[in-house]
Amino acid sequence: MSTYSRIHAIDVHAEGEPGRVLIGSHLHVKGATMAERLQYCEKHLDDLRRLLLREPRGYPALCGALVLPPADPAADFGLVVLEQGGFRPMSGSNLICAVTALVETGAVTVSEPVTDLTVDTAVGLVRVRAEVSGGRARRVTFANVPAFAVALDHVLDLPEYGRVPVDIVFGGQFFVQARAADLGLVVEPGAAKQLARAGAVLRTAAQQQFPVAHPLNPDINEIALTMIHGPSPTPGVSGRNTVVLPNGPVDLADPATWTGSLDRSPCGTGTCARMAALHARGELPLNTPFVHESVIGTTFTGTLLDTAQVGPYQAVLPTISGRGWITGFNQYVLDDTDPFPYGYTLGDLWGATEQER
């Protein structure tokens, strides 16, 4: 007789970006701090991440949010983010997905018209304000951890694209950010494949050519994502961007591996990082709304509230505001006879084929 493991998840999207939210998972994630718990997930829960995000249960654009008890008693819950590239300390869209799921299922104490929450993450506490009416989270605004520019206009050497100036910036994760025009691209849905391709090259080259480490948490030391940005023709919008998430290993010598998946949302951590770069250039003052549009036309609104110091870096304190919608209440199953307990990827949709059993 075969047996099943069952995993309950609430599927949500934040301005188009899907996040599979795990609440009450009963996972014993060990660690005195969220930074230690993130490391525990990396060491012990990667099978679960792959099972949920890959085929046949997941798809390349899918992310996830693991809701945990907070390590800091000042917080309401702890958050560890699951992406195709690995576990992550923070994510704007996934935080909005988690808050939407928690509020709308009554898993946190909800008050209308505003529910205030504090989220414990591996990079610090994040204060959240959810606008709630009729039991629904209509809008989620969060005050992110400090964002800062590590380098502006650093020139990367890229195969095919040549020498391209980039910003290396932190907004809850480390980003390499480049202008679309410098890659011969525009940020439009019709260019999705070319944007994903360029994003994969930029991230891999940045990882090889520009080591990073967060001054307060040196274990956060990976350029996780690429942002490609440009102007927007939409009235009232400050700029358009897409973030490229890896969904398989990339080899700069093998163009067949230059793939990834585009963030369907305007990317919360990426927008914070982008605002930090603009502020460092004197192009975005404090208290000025920055409306960032995704490749599918959804928006997050960011604002810089103040400045701060993070180790040697001049930082800014950003807020991001956006909306989430529940798309499903699901129970995923792993049968112990299933030949793919870690899921799998196939090169038609993904960066690489991986069918480890």
Ligand X SMILES: O=C(O)[C@H]1NCC[C@@H]1O
Where do contacts with ligand X occur on this chain (CB under 6 A)?
Answer: 17, 63, 88, 91-94, 243, 245, 263, 265, 267-270
The nearer residue to ligand X, 81 or 180, going by C-beta atoms, is 81
| Residue with the CB atom nearest ligand X in the bound state | 91
Extract the tokens encoding 336: 């112990």
The nearer residue to ligand X, 58 or 268, going by C-beta atoms, is 268
The nearer residue to ligand X, 11 or 263, going by C-beta atoms, is 263
Query: For residue 29, what are the CA distances in angstroms to 38, 66, 70, 108, 290?
Result: 9, 10, 11, 20, 37
Confirm if 250 and 201 have CB atoms less than 8 A apart: yes
Active-site annotation holds for 97: no
The nearer residue to ligand X, 265 or 321, going by C-beta atoms, is 265
Give the contacts of 18 (CB within 8 A, at least 6 positions apart). Answer: 11, 12, 61, 62, 63, 97, 264, 327
Q: Which of 41, 63, 91, 294 is catalytic?
A: 91
Extract the tokens encoding 256: 């067949």
Q: Which of 41, 63, 97, 267 is catalytic?
A: 267
Active-site annotation holds for 63: no
Q: How far apart are CA 167 and CA 177, in angstroms?
A: 5
* CA diameter of the chain: 66
At how many degrees (to 10) do helices 92-104 and 268-280 cross? 140
The residues that are catalytic are: 91, 267
